[in-house]
Amino acid sequence: MTGMNQSRREALKKIGYAAIAVGVYGKAPSLLASPAPTAPVAIGKCKTYNPAELLSVLGRMFDQVGGLQRIVNGKTVAIKINLTGAPTYRVGYLPLGDTHYTNPQVITAAVHLMGKAGAKRIRILESPWSSAYPLEETLLQADFDPRQIESAAPNVEFENTNFLGKGKKYSRLVVPFGGYLFPAYELNHSYSDCDVFVSMTKMKEHETTGITLSMKNCFGITPCSIYGASAGIEDPDENPKGGRGQLLHSGKRQPSKIAPAELDTTTPREGGYRVPRAVVDLIAARPVDLQIVDGVKSLSGGEGPWAPGIAPVQPGMLVAGTNPVATDAVCMRLMGLDPMMDRGTHPFETSDNMLRLAEEAGVGTRDLNRIEVIGADIKNVAFNYAAQRSAILTRYGSLPTRGISPALT
């Protein structure tokens, strides 16, 4: 049984799991708190990746959501960027930052503004596909210049969080409401050794979950050394290979025993059920303090070049907020989608709506009537992804893709 039919059953189970979390992990659950919190979301028109335009638009948007200095001054900031799939995999000959990777100019501009706002240290984080190489190597393979990002502000660091990395041990982050899949997750130290956590992602659709925005970006904070295909049964594999498909997507195995076991192995073993729940667990365990969504140029039809029927698009916008559920709800509306939809309706044909699950867990609201939208008006900048993709494919046909498919990342 999947989807809405399990809501009551799940709620009852989570109450029991939340009680376990209090006893075992010492955390008070926030399950069923009402109403779910909200926060303003800023929209900015941005037609290019010109640094001057990005600095102007991002600076104004940060002011609109309460001011960047209030968020980062004197603090260690961790920024999870989105580099889904191997850097060898491309849409035609387009730059990766123009399709499915967070654009390097957006990263650089945001880092610069955070430095000006007084950030003490800024860490750029990602778990690159099937790799324990330094993150800078992946950036170079993607034709990004890590030196440009590093020089944008004082004390900028990079870390590959796909394994233990520079830390001495993993950090256990507890899901405060008890968890949908796991009661806690073992993560790279960088996700706990920070004062502010930022999800900086691309505005895209997703084969498995319908959409991938600031929330789904956090699926990638799980280290493949523990949650990946090559993870050891007893101990992590500190040279991880492959993705998270066997565990977090299909539930065919459990994580390395360093991590807590799954709460209920009788639940559906399919990605449309499991991935949205893992995402909500993760953003509850590691709250996202600031969201930056790159919709200047992107990809429609899937999260990467391996998805069938994809097309490059140019929505010409940026979105920022301080609650990931509210931010993603506004992004969905901008993409021509309804955040109140669920399994069986577009874009959630085969997936549960992660925004609904997050709302039920008390993380944030998806109700646009409760979200203050600042800056550009939604109706003036909305970009219907499905309609634009259809028009592009009708006119030009499919673009060739190149590389090795990182399926189920």
**62 pLDDT exceeds 90?**
yes
Which of the four pLDDT bands, split at 50, 70 and 90, describes residue 201?
Answer: very high
* Residue 3: pLDDT over 80: no
pLDDT at 22: 42
User: For residue 4, what pLDDT band results from cuts at 50, 70 and 90?
Assistant: very low
Is 326 a member of any domain?
yes
Polymer length in residues for the chain: 409
Q: What is the tally of structural domains in the chain?
A: 1
| 164-170 long-range contacts, CB within 8 A, separation 24+ | 164/188, 164/223, 164/225, 164/236, 164/238, 165/189, 165/190, 167/193, 170/223, 170/226, 170/236, 170/258
- 278 confidence band (pLDDT: 50, 70, 90): very high
Please, which pLDDT band fits residue 397 given cuts at 50, 70 and 90? confident
Least confident range of 114-123, 145-154, 343-352, 386-395: 386-395
Query: What average pLDDT is seen over the chain?
Result: 91
Is residue 249 pLDDT above 90, yes or no? yes
Does residue 238 form part of some domain?
yes
- Is residue 409 a part of any domain in this protein? no
pLDDT 10s digits, 105-135:
999 999 999 999 999 999 999 999 999 999 9
Least confident of 6-10, 287-291, 355-359: 6-10
**13 found inside a domain:** yes
Residue 54 inside a domain? The answer is yes
pLDDT at position 144, please?
A: 98
For 283, the domain range is 3-402
Instruction: Please check the confidence at residue 196 and state whether its pLDDT lies above 70.
Output: yes
Which percentage of the chain shows pLDDT scores above 70? 89
Is residue 385 one of the residues assigned to a domain?
yes
As a whole number, mean pLDDT of residues 181-188 equals 98
Q: What is the pLDDT of residue 393?
A: 84
* Residue 281, domain member (yes or no): yes
Buried-state track 297-328, b at ≥16 Cβ within 10 A, e below 16: bbbbbbbbbbbeebbbbebebbbbbbbbbbbb
Q: How would residue 163 be classed by pLDDT, with cut points 50, 70 and 90?
A: very high
Q: Where does the pLDDT of residue 404 fall: very low under 50, low under 70, confident under 90, or very high at 90 and above? A: very low
Model confidence at 406, in pLDDT bands (50, 70, 90)? Answer: very low
Q: What is the pLDDT of residues 13-53, one digit of tens each?
A: 554 444 444 444 443 344 554 799 999 999 999 999 999 99
Q: Is residue 340 part of a domain?
A: yes
**Residue 12 confidence (pLDDT):** 46
At 188, list the tokens: 């790279």
Decide if 197 contacts 221 (C-beta within 8 A).
no
> How far apart are alpha carbons 274 and 248 in whole angstroms?
6
Could you give the percent of the chain with pLDDT greater than 90? 86
